Amino acid sequence: MKIHEYQAKQVLARFAVATPRGEVAYSPEEAHRVAERLGGTVVVKAQIHAGGRGKAGGVKLAHDPNEVERLASEMLGKKLVTIQTGPEGRVVKRVLIEEGLEVARELYLGIVIDRTTARPVFMASSEGGVEIEVVAAGHPEKILKEYVDPAVGFLAFQARKLAFGLGLDAKLVNEAVRFFSSLYRAFESTDASLVEINPFVVTRDGRLLALDAKMNFDDNALSRHPDIRELRDLDEEDPLEVRASNYSLNYIRLDGNVGCMVNGAGLAMSTMDIIQYAGGRPANFLDVGGGASEEQVRRGFEIILSDANVRAVLINIFGGIMRCDIVASGVVAAAKSLDIKVPVVVRLEGTNVELGQKILRESGLNFTVAHGMKDAAEKVVALARGLSN
Ligand code: GDP
Ligand code: MN
């Protein structure tokens, strides 16, 4: 799960990570009042779940509350397109108003789980404020890394190594060590999957602060953090994905036109591969799970059909724990309550396959039956082409 910058800063502040003074606002008038409270020069920052806002006009300096109000009204309700949002952009619904700081240096800090070592890795770079992917590609040596043994945690010597590596002033090293340790504690205690501070700044008056903050969390650990789960902003998520998550379906929307209804993550992945192999593109990943109910199958099918990009649907089920008749009943129930305008190809195999096929045959609905994955993929891709022409 992702959260907004201002929320990440609130979470970090609980762990004594230094952040600039600021408050979120939902309207230009509210932004005006926040600017009055803060006083002096402030920064107006569009809050969306995507970075690259600075270059796209989503981060602006203002000198008085009237200017803040004007900038906030220019941002709120408008689409912001950054390199991370894709061309469709995101509508800005909240702005963060923050004290303006005099920045001497912009550095980078990040903590993620490293898949190779299966450990958290604490990264730091003197090349802050810019896209870290660019630094990683061109100058990987400029990214310092400390791997953390989860059994002993992030140790003070590792923090010191990073602080010296960043070339911080000797008199700032102790404060940096405290900052990095607090940041790691925040990452670990909240079951975060990513914490990124870009830029981490040194101000002219020698303070260290998180000027930007990004935090992502492990969805599977959210049950342990009800306070963090509340920070979820459904406006920032794909509406179909939100609907699917309400029914505990593993659904990810993609940009192709073949809707896929599959059980088991491995089968779902190979289904997507074989669709591509047959020259098509999947519209989604959907794993209805091993023990899906008829209701879940029906909801999953409805969600696939609500995607306007879908030109044909492939139902690819291997009945192991899941029984083919349950899937067939769910699909038929969904089909009866919906007006299906696209062709549906079905490949069923496994437990109760005859019963499943019988339910489909006797439903009076028009399904194309396929034998094997290759046949199914070729049929559905051909049908999707036929309609999209
Ligand atoms: P991003 O572009 O979405 O990553 O947004 P950031 O929060 O990183 O802001 C982009 C840039 O705006 C930063 O790298 C800073 O250079 C600048 N910026 C943001 N807040 C301040 C501030 O309080 N003072 C100054 N001088 N610059 C700021
Ligand atoms: Mn940033």
Rounded Cα distance between 177 and 255, Å, is: 44
Taking a C-beta distance cutoff of 8 angstroms, is the pair 58, 82 a contact?
yes
Mean pLDDT of each 10-residue bin along the chain, 389 residues long: 97 98 98 97 97 95 98 97 91 97 97 96 92 89 96 97 96 97 98 97 97 96 97 92 91 95 92 97 90 83 92 91 86 84 91 91 87 94 79
Look at residues 365, 243, 261 and name the one whose alpha carbon lies nearest to residue 314.
261
**Which residue reads 């959210």 in tokens?**
222
Q: Is there a cis peptide before residue 199, judged by omega within 30 degrees of 0?
A: yes
Residues 8 and 14: beta-carbon distance below 8 Å: no
Q: Which CATH number fits domain 1-19+103-237: 3.40.50.2300, 3.30.460.80, 3.30.470.20, 3.50.50.60?
A: 3.30.470.20
Q: Determine the Cα–Cα distance for residues 196 and 223; give it in Å rounded to an integer.
A: 23
Which ligand lies nearest the alpha carbon of 46? 1
pLDDT of residue 289: 79
Q: Please state, in angstroms and rounded to a whole number, the distance separating the CA atoms of residues 347 and 261.
A: 10
The predicted structure's pLDDT at residue 43: 98
Between CA 14 and CA 228 the distance in angstroms is 12
CATH code given to domain 238-388: 3.40.50.261
Residues contacting residue 66 through CB under 8 Å, at least 6 positions apart:
32
Expressed in angstroms and rounded, the spacing between residue 211 Cα and the centre of ligand 1 is 7
237 as an active site residue: the answer is no
Catalytic status, residue 175: no
CB 19 within 8 A of CB 210: yes
Residues with CB under 6 A from ligand 1: 43, 51-54, 59, 100-101, 103, 106, 129, 198-199, 211-212
Going by alpha carbons, the residue nearest to atom 13 of ligand 1 is: 129
Which of 368, 286, 300 is closest to 331 using CA atoms? 300
Q: List the chain domain ranges.
A: 1-19+103-237, 21-100, 238-388
pTM: 0.85
CATH topology agreement for domains 1-19+103-237 and 238-388 = no
pLDDT value, residue 333: 86
CATH class given for the domain over 21-100 = alpha beta
What pLDDT, on the 0 to 100 scale, is given for residue 32?
Answer: 98
